[in-house]
Amino acid sequence: MDEKQKTGFGRKFGKVLLAILIPLLFLLLLTGLFLKLAGIDPISEAKSLLFGSGQNPPVQSINSPAATTSGLKQQIAGQNRTIKQLQNDNKNKSDQIAQLQNQLKQAQSQSNQQNQAQKSQKQAALQSVYAQTYRNMDPVKAAAIFEKLSVKQAAKYMNMLDDKTKASIMQNMTAAKAAAVTPLLKAPADSGSSADSALNGSAASTATTTSSTTSLP
């Protein structure tokens, strides 16, 4: 009889305990759910209530806004330094290119001047040879050679001679050839005031030759 009473009492106590624990657990679950929705971690809050809040302050993360801004500033500063360095290098290269171009122009100008001087020297040497050759030749034979040349060629070689040699050769040329060459004759550079007299003498000799030629039967 006593065992039956104890058993009945135990069952009643278990039912009462369950009746209390189930609503309590349900209430705790609802509370935790509301805290989650509110953005509060109930476990962390419970730990802070039970063990106190003696935790170290959180260390600033590398990805925090302050750290990110500082890193970006450093990157921008480094990029600006790189850009300035590249600009300086580009300017130096441009200056070097300009200097090389100027040196090339000077070298080309000097080369052209040297070539022109060489051509002038060769031309002067040839003129000297031609002048000396026709000066030493017999005027009759020189005139025969000029008769074979065209008017421009004859005038070209004739202008290499002094006025005296010109006159001697033209005296032995035909009137037609001498008349054609005369307008193309030029005074020597060192003849000075004697150029007009030489030309006048040449023209006079040409006229004499022409008159003597026309008087022949």
Helical (H) or strand (E) element with 69? helix 65-136
Please give the share of the chain, as a percent, with pLDDT higher than 70: 71
Domain around 143: 127-215
In this structure, how many other beta carbons lie within 10 angstroms of the beta carbon of residue 182? 16
In this model, does residue 137 exceed pLDDT 80? yes
Residue 190 covered by a domain: yes
61 domain-assigned: no
CA distance 138 to 158: 15
Q: Report the percentage of the chain scoring pLDDT > 90.
A: 14
Between residues 103 and 67, the one the model is more confident about? 103
Choose the most confident range, by mean pLDDT, from 40-44, 148-152, 203-207, 213-217: 148-152
Q: How many domains does the chain have?
A: 1
How many other C-beta atoms are found inside a 10 Å radius of the C-beta of residue 162? 16
Residue that has been written with the tokens 């008349």 in this structure: 179
- Decide if 95 is inside a domain: no
Q: Structure pTM?
A: 0.38
The confidence score (pLDDT) of residue 186 equals 85
Domain presence at residue 6: no
Specify the DSSP class assigned to residue 215.
H
Q: Return d(Cα 195, Cα 201) in angstroms, integer.
A: 10
- Does 132 reside within a domain? yes
